[in-house]
Amino acid sequence: MYKGKKTYFYNGEILWEGRGRAGRTLIYDDEERKSWEVIIVLPGVEVIPERTFRLCTNVKKVIMHEDVKRIEFDAFVQCFKLISVKLSRNLEYIGVCAFWSCSSLTSIFIPQSCREIDRWAFRYCRQLLILGMPQNIQIRDYAFGNTLLMTKLPFSFAVDEDENFSPEDEAIAIQWVKTINDENAFALHRACSSFNPLLEIIHT
């Protein structure tokens, strides 16, 4: 439990408060959603369905068990106060608009298992810092559009989540960018203007 935070557990069908309240069906009511602050996705959940946690405007932290493989359309759209997301190490797919306009999200580590980040998945995540990314991944149009930050040292896919980055990661980053499928994946991303090799590779 997170001290001072209203923690809720999700098992794929029902959600319950961490203090032992009986499980109940998810309530798709905007007022109800405002009380959720920490969400923990439990073992056995492989898919977070579309719009499951949309407009949870006070959620600050999400932790996913390693069973999660897919995050579907609009799953966390407009969770404006979401700061931290712990993705499953077995995650394979991040859906269209999955984290769209999560404007407080500060960093994300995309696990090696992830094979696709769909359109607009992190668009308008204006403070986002990418800590890691697989080498072979499909990144669709505007997946990271309209963000202000991308990475302190450009992408690296050869490090663990808790390892530090080094200047050598830049060479790895440039090689990785060649695998991007859609030229608009980072469109309107302000960091691109100061990282010319990235721009050149995306648009050639």
Same domain, 110 and 176: yes
Which of 75, 105, 135 terminates a domain? The answer is 105
Quick one: 100 and 11 in the same domain? yes
Local structure of 39: helix, strand or coil: strand
Q: How many Cα atoms sit within 13 Å of 20 on the Cβ side?
A: 0
Domains contained in the chain, number? 2
Q: Are 93 and 112 contained in the same domain?
A: no
Closest alpha carbon to 176 in 199, 192, 156: 156
141 and 173 part of one domain: yes
- Rounded to an integer, what is the distance from CA 163 to the centroid of its chain? 19
Tens digits of per-residue pLDDT, 20-52?
555 555 555 667 777 789 999 999 999 999 999
> With pLDDT > 70 as the criterion, what percentage of the chain qualifies?
63
d(CA 177, CA 197): 9
111 and 199 share one domain: yes
Taking the mean position of all CA atoms in its chain, how far away is CA 157? 16
Among 67, 85, 105, residue at a domain's last position: 105
What's the whole-number average pLDDT of the chain? Answer: 73
31 and 101 housed in the same domain: yes
Same domain, 85 and 36: yes
Encoding tokens for residue 19?
């203090």
* Residues 139, 182 within the same domain: yes
The verdict on 98 and 112 lying in the same domain is no
Specify the CATH number for the domain of residue 57: 3.80.10.10
Same domain, 70 and 12: yes
Task: Place 6 in a pLDDT band, splitting at 50, 70 and 90.
Answer: confident
Do 139 and 111 belong to one domain?
yes
Higher per-residue pLDDT: 44 or 148: 44
Top-confidence residue, 88 or 176: 88
154-196: pLDDT as tens digits: 444 433 344 433 334 333 343 344 344 455 666 554 444 333 3
pLDDT for residue 122 is more than 70: yes
Question: What is the spatial distance between Cα 36 and Cα 58, in angstroms, rounded to a whole number?
Answer: 6
Last residue of a domain, one of 105, 137, 155: 105
Same domain? For 67 and 151 the reply is no
Per-residue pLDDT band for 16 (boundaries 50, 70, 90) equals: confident
By three-state DSSP, how is residue 142 classified?
coil
Which structural domain range is residue 136 located in? 106-204
